[in-house]
Amino acid sequence: MLLVRVATVSREVAATSSRSRKKALLAGLFREAEPADVPVVIPYLAGRLPQGRLGVGWKTLRGPVPAADGASLSVLETDRVLTALKAVSGPGSQAERVRLVTGLMSRATEEEQAFLIALLTGEVRQGALDAAAADGLAEASGAAPDDVRRAVMLAGGLAPVAEALLAEGPGALERFRLTVGRPVLPMLAQSAASAAEAVERLGGAAAVEEKLDGIRVQVHRDGDEIRIHTRTLDDITDRLPEVVAAARELGGERLILDGEVIALDEDGRPRPFQETAGRIGSRADVATAARAVPVSPVFFDVLHVDGRDLMDLPFTERHAELARLVPGPRRVRRAVVDGPGGAAEAERFLAATLERGHEGVVVKALDTPYSAGRRGAGWLKVKPVHTLDLVVLAAEWGSGRRSGKLSNLHLGARTADGGFAMLGKTFKGMTDELLRWQTERLQELAVEQHSWGVTVRPELVVEIAYDGLQRSTRYPAGVALRFARVLRYREDKPAAEADTVETLLAAHPAVAP
């Protein structure tokens, strides 16, 4: 198959807002693909590279390359070049990457170039990715959409399912079963404003579990063989020797466990997320990193035990197995609440959890199965929200559906000398109406136009929600906001009454520099 077919279909998918039309377009091309093309075409149309990321980003792709006149590049030739690109390393590798990319681009038409750039940067914004591709695959193969999605989730990706389905038909789906050693997409949680609201929404008995601010892991044990995967299924086994050792101490020979890895102090209090993340990101000298910042696994779910799949069982039953296999200190603390006092009890558990230094809680329905790969309504996370009144210092032009709108705000707090210190940026929490309004308002306040946006007179006050402070080397106060989002503008409030760096630091003494 020629690359131009994929590029054209991607453009057509992007052009329609109808999801059923997107699905039909994807299905059409899936049917058209030869068996040899399938492992490449399927990921391409889901906006992914079969090789994963290649070490090529915007900067590497910046040089414009004259486009080819006619479409001659095949999907498989493209894939061969990108496989070669992935293998490049060592001194001179950057020049070699540029050489390979330039060679590929020079053989591509303008439309193909645009698609390749989007693919390489991971920004194929066609309004249809994993879920749409799975549905398209179902339509193309005649399999039931739910069965395809389940197989994709169990396989950890679309490509193997697509190959089997298109070669053998719907019967091939039976092969995709939960397998120890093969990671499954983890279940995610929705958000709730309070523990009481979460209990209310679940309507009935619920488990309230502490939410640890670490790295999500899925641990597979097959006898002495241990594998550890992240939320995106990356294998990080080699970075976590102490977690491997801990997993060997558990009950059961063949297990799949879900949990969090976190750095704790001697007294069991959590260290800042930045320390856990730095430790788990360290690959070069694991032994040294592990001595400096040891981490612990803490589990909250189990998907498989010694030949029995537990994913479809109610949480209560899965947790009973977990308690049998994993000792208390290696399990997340929890309380089961029920009845009229349940909401209040959940709030008390949340308060106690925060007191111990943790991030919040996850409230879980007791009767729901493990919805792998989904943001299930049976898990609701609750974290405390802080707010500040900050001053807009600048705003950046948005992209995509926000083109032509001032979107990303630079946020400042007042300083002792009467100026403002930037604490971070945010683009979150804005409705289309608010984007329109702030674009107009900020243009009125603009003192300087840049290619990236505008700087403004520091007069507009905006109420910001955030999850906490983190240390920063980038911002002048030495701290930055974590997960900042807009709640509302405070036109009633002059900038002179906005919050100060001093009060912010006082509110987060543990993080203050």
Partner DNA sequence: TTCCGACAGTGGGGTCGCAAT
Partner DNA sequence: ATTGCGACCCCACTATCGGAA
11 annotated binding-site participant: no
Q: How far apart are CA 78 and CA 100, in angstroms?
A: 11
231 annotated binding-site participant: yes
Q: How far apart are CA 55 and CA 121, in angstroms?
A: 9
List C-alpha distances in Å: 508 to 181, 279, 468, 500: 42, 23, 8, 13
DSSP string, 135-147: HHHHHHHT--HHH
Site string for DNA, 166-205 (x = CB under 7 A): -------------------------x--------------
- Taking only Cα atoms into account, the Rg of the chain, rounded to an integer number of angstroms, comes to 25
Report the residue number, 168 or 432, with the smaller CB distance to DNA. Answer: 432
CA dihedral of 243, 247, 250, 255, whole degrees rounded to 10? 140
381 annotated binding-site participant: yes
Asked if 475 touches DNA (CB under 7 A), the answer is yes
275-304 positions binding DNA, by CB under 7 A: 277-278, 281-285
Asked if 465 touches DNA (CB under 7 A), the answer is yes
Asked if 83 touches DNA (CB under 7 A), the answer is no
Question: Which three-class secondary structure state does DSSP give residue 472?
Answer: coil
62 annotated binding-site participant: no
Scanning 52-60, 244-252, 304-312, 316-324 for contacts with DNA by CB under 7 A, the matching segment is: 52-60
> Which of 146, 234, 306, 444 touches DNA by CB under 7 A?
234
111 annotated binding-site participant: no
For residue 416, the minimal CB distance to DNA (Å) is 21
Q: How many residues bind DNA (CB under 7 A)?
A: 91
308 annotated binding-site participant: no
> Which of 128, 243, 250, 388 touches DNA by CB under 7 A?
128
- Strand runs (DSSP E) across 162-214, as ranges? 188-191, 206-211
CA dihedral of 495, 497, 503, 508, whole degrees rounded to 10? -60
Asked if 33 contacts 1 with a C-beta cutoff of 8 angstroms, the reply is yes
DSSP symbol at 398:
B
Scanning 28-36, 168-176, 437-445, 464-472 for contacts with DNA by CB under 7 A, the matching segment is: 464-472
Report the residue number, 220 or 305, with the smaller CB distance to DNA. Answer: 220
Task: Give the length of the chain.
Answer: 513
Which structure tokens are listed for 315? 């949480």
Asked if 157 touches DNA (CB under 7 A), the answer is no
Question: Which three-class secondary structure state does DSSP give residue 25?
Answer: helix
For residue 390, give the nearest of 424, 409, 413, 406 by alpha carbon: 413
Asked if 127 touches DNA (CB under 7 A), the answer is yes
374-403 positions binding DNA, by CB under 7 A: 374-377, 381, 383, 385, 396, 398-402
For residue 352, the minimal CB distance to DNA (Å) is 20
DSSP symbol at 74:
B
Q: How far apart are CA 197 and CA 402, in angstroms?
A: 33
413-442 positions binding DNA, by CB under 7 A: 424-433
5-44 positions binding DNA, by CB under 7 A: 17-21
Indicate if 211 belongs to the active site.
yes
227 annotated binding-site participant: no
Active-site annotation holder among 23, 59, 86, 211: 211
Active site residues: 211
Known binding-site positions for ATP: 209, 216, 231, 260, 300, 375, 381
